Chain A
Amino acid sequence: MASPNQLYTPALLEHVQHPDWNFALDDATCSHEGVNPSCGDDLTIHARLADDGTIAEVSWTGEGCAVSKGSADMMADLMVGLTPAEAKALCATFGELVRGELSAEDAEEELDEAACLASIAHMPARVKCAELAWRTMDEMLAGATEPSSTEDGLVPDAGDAR
């Protein structure tokens, strides 16, 4: 049994209760929706690119669980100043972290407090919550038009199967 308090840290809860980036950007260069239908997580990521092509600002809107929202807010903090290629690489690093392929210690330098989400690797059903904003960001930067989802290819919610 994973302890929830490893996941629901003060850092995560602070981002959930007092998010820094939970608003729509008036002058967004691009916006992209990410949806996990079985959870009801539905987030839209907004980004404004500077003239030099780097990311000037990222924000998020929508509803979801604490893990999906807190993860989105932490991500928005980290994206400022990165080139799109660097941002996509960071999304990939985060994916490795939450799938247990990278330790929190090894990820901390790049992912800062988002590294605290490492413990979700022990809760397979919740990985998609943590990843939603990052996957959506990654696919937005790749030019996706269809909404993103971290449920694609996962075993669906089947706990009451008969």
Chain B
Amino acid sequence: MADLCRAPRLSAAEAANLEANPYKADFPLLMAHPELAYLDNAATAQRPACVIEAEARFYETMNANPLRGLYELSVEATAAIEEARATFARFVGAATPREIVFTRNASESLNLVARTLGEQVLSEGDEVVISILEHHSNLIPWQEVCKRTGATLRWLYPNQEGFFSEEEIEATIGPATKIVSITQLSNVLGVEVPVAAIAKRAREMGAYVVVDAAQSAPHLPVDVREIDCDLLAFSAHKALGPFGVGALWGRLELLEALPPFLTGGEMIDSVTQEGAVWAPVPQKFEAGTQDAAGIYAAGIGLKYLEEVGFEAVHARDVALGRALMDGLAERPFMEVYGPRDPAAHHGVVSFNVHGVHPHDVSSILDGSGVAIRAGHHCAQPLLTWLGTSSTCRASTGFYNDARDVERFLDAIDTVWSLFHGLA
């Protein structure tokens, strides 16, 4: 089945050429909407044909309820999930596939961590450290567990461009810190967070380290050993996979020590009228019937991403970021948030058009066939800290090209001329 997800393999130099786009033909939605510039990849990616076909193939040739199979088909369905688990494990550098727990999405993974690890280790006087860059899904679970346990939530603040200083990390993570939970890549500013440095400081203080890789997984190589974290969460749907599938990686011995999050079928070894014995990791955390077809297809999505390769992904992110930001910089009526260096944006450019509400901008762009996002991007505390209630955001995938950027910039000029007379 290895040849089911052949992706174009470009060198970094080839990938940086935005005039060429050999990826596009693999994405049925982009082919079906040739006039669309899809620049909302940070909300969800488009899916290559191999992922869509994999989901159908599961139902057409492998469908049965996995795990409890006493017959050939169910064994095949189980094998499909385990094949995906091995792919997810390789993708994040796990020691063994048993370290991968399948969930519905990164939010569920982070809730699992807050409800199990958080409630086990936190009590009054303890501190949980997150950053002002966090998506609500790596914020609200910690606010809630702090309320329940009496722990205090503390915040790491970067500079205006989004970069964290060593001093800030040292001043915020201290002996009272029990858990540090941090995003690897901001979904608003596009800036990469020095998770390895933060993890090192947290380790020295004896704290657990949780990484939210929902935004980074499609843009950066994620290696849990290199980061030296304890747990890491991400969603398939931002990384070319289907909706409804997420993953939590955890150190095996830690996953074994944690209590289950959801209980019920599939997560037990034996049950009596008085209680139950949990199944081994990872099934202990996978209550109920999983979306086996989605998990299988999500594995194919990660394989496709690996085939494209992160060197090519990064080269294209940088080229697209530069084209977008150079274009915006030529227009004096724009404000761009985050790093000044386009290479530090990882496919995410947040901006505002002076005097025009972001929702007006996005509606006008929509009419020109340009899909961007406007609002608070599920990061309201960050936007408040930036001094605004909402921004527009263009976010790219490696399958975007020069034409998408051109359409976007033309549509921005349309916004300006509509609101400020003829350009």
* Pair A162/B107 contact, Cβ less than 8 Å: yes
Residues 118-162 of chain A, each 1 if its beta carbon lies under 8 Å from chain B, else 0: 000001011001000000000000000000000000000111111
| A56 is an interface residue with CB less than 8 A from chain B | no
For B137, what are the chain A residues with a Cβ–Cβ distance below 8 Å? 161-162
Given contacts A4-B363, A13-B418, A161-B107, contact A64 B357 (CB under 8 A): yes
* Pair A162/B105 contact, Cβ less than 8 Å: yes
Give the distance in Å from the alpha carbon of A39 to the alpha carbon of B389 in the complex. 7
* Pair A162/B419 contact, Cβ less than 8 Å: no
Chain A: residues with Cβ within 8 Å of the partner, total of 28
* Pair A40/B366 contact, Cβ less than 8 Å: no
Give the distance in Å from the alpha carbon of A147 to the alpha carbon of B50 in the complex. 51
Residues 130-166 of chain B, each 1 if its beta carbon lies under 8 Å from chain A, else 0: 0000010100000000000000000000000000000
Shortest Cβ gap from A80 to chain B (Å): 27
For B364, what are the chain A residues with a Cβ–Cβ distance below 8 Å? 4, 8
Stretch at the interface among B220-228, B327-335, B370-378, B396-404: B370-378
* Pair B106/A162 contact, Cβ less than 8 Å: yes
For A4, what are the chain B residues with a Cβ–Cβ distance below 8 Å? 363-368, 418
Give the distance in Å from the alpha carbon of A129 to the alpha carbon of B418 in the complex. 19
* Pair A40/B377 contact, Cβ less than 8 Å: no
* Pair B246/A162 contact, Cβ less than 8 Å: yes
* Pair A39/B390 contact, Cβ less than 8 Å: yes
| A65 is an interface residue with CB less than 8 A from chain B | yes
| B339 is an interface residue with CB less than 8 A from chain A | no
For A161, what are the chain B residues with a Cβ–Cβ distance below 8 Å? 43, 105, 107, 137, 378
Q: Which residue of A lies closest to B357 (CB)?
A: A65
Give the distance in Å from the alpha carbon of A161 to the alpha carbon of B389 in the complex. 18
* Pair A39/B367 contact, Cβ less than 8 Å: no
Give the distance in Å from the alpha carbon of A136 to the alpha carbon of B418 in the complex. 28
Give the distance in Å from the alpha carbon of A160 to the alpha carbon of B419 in the complex. 28
Give the distance in Å from the alpha carbon of A2 to the alpha carbon of B365 in the complex. 10
Contacting residue for B377 out of A16, A39, A159, CB 8 A: A159
* Pair B359/A126 contact, Cβ less than 8 Å: yes
* Pair B43/A160 contact, Cβ less than 8 Å: yes
* Pair A66/B366 contact, Cβ less than 8 Å: no
Interface of A is mostly: loop
* Pair B235/A162 contact, Cβ less than 8 Å: yes
* Pair A157/B368 contact, Cβ less than 8 Å: no
Residues 93-116 of chain A, each 1 if its beta carbon lies under 8 Å from chain B, else 0: 000000000000000000000000
Give the distance in Å from the alpha carbon of A126 to the alpha carbon of B187 in the complex. 23
Within 8 A of A (CB), among B99-124: 105-107
* Pair A162/B135 contact, Cβ less than 8 Å: yes
| B356 is an interface residue with CB less than 8 A from chain A | yes
| B315 is an interface residue with CB less than 8 A from chain A | no
Shortest Cβ gap from B51 to chain A (Å): 18
Given contacts A17-B419, A39-B390, A159-B43, contact A66 B357 (CB under 8 A): yes
| B89 is an interface residue with CB less than 8 A from chain A | no
Chain B: residues with Cβ within 8 Å of the partner, total of 35
Q: Which residue of B lies closest to A10 (CB)?
A: B418
Contacting residue for A66 out of B135, B360, B365, B378, CB 8 A: B360
For B8, what are the chain A residues with a Cβ–Cβ distance below 8 Å? none
For A158, what are the chain B residues with a Cβ–Cβ distance below 8 Å? 378
Within 8 A of A (CB), among B54-79: none
Given contacts A1-B369, A3-B367, A157-B376, contact A65 B360 (CB under 8 A): yes
* Pair B389/A67 contact, Cβ less than 8 Å: no
For B419, what are the chain A residues with a Cβ–Cβ distance below 8 Å? 13, 16-17, 66
* Pair B376/A38 contact, Cβ less than 8 Å: yes
* Pair A159/B367 contact, Cβ less than 8 Å: no
Given contacts A1-B366, A8-B364, contact A160 B359 (CB under 8 A): no
For A129, what are the chain B residues with a Cβ–Cβ distance below 8 Å? 359
Give the distance in Å from the alpha carbon of A161 to the alpha carbon of B237 in the complex. 10
Shortest Cβ gap from A63 to chain B (Å): 9
Q: Which residue of B lies closest to A160 (CB)?
A: B378
* Pair B357/A7 contact, Cβ less than 8 Å: no
Within 8 A of B (CB), among A1-40: 1-8, 13, 16-17, 38-40
Shortest Cβ gap from A33 to chain B (Å): 16
| B214 is an interface residue with CB less than 8 A from chain A | yes
Give the distance in Å from the alpha carbon of A38 to the alpha carbon of B235 in the complex. 24
Shortest Cβ gap from B234 to chain A (Å): 8
Q: Which residue of B lies closest to A8 (CB)?
A: B418
Give the distance in Å from the alpha carbon of A3 to the alpha carbon of B368 in the complex. 7
User: Which 10 residue pairs across A and B have the least CB separation, nearest first?
Assistant: A4-B367, A65-B357, A40-B389, A162-B106, A4-B364, A160-B378, A3-B367, A162-B107, A66-B360, A65-B359
Q: Can you show 22 pairs from A to B with CB atoms below 8 A apart?
A: A1-B366, A1-B367, A3-B367, A4-B366, A4-B418, A5-B367, A6-B367, A7-B367, A8-B418, A16-B419, A38-B375, A38-B376, A40-B389, A65-B357, A66-B356, A66-B360, A67-B363, A123-B366, A157-B378, A159-B40, A159-B43, A162-B246
Can you name 8 extra interface pairs (CB under 8 A) apart from A8-B363, A160-B379, A161-B43?
A: A3-B367, A4-B363, A39-B390, A40-B390, A125-B359, A159-B40, A160-B377, A161-B107
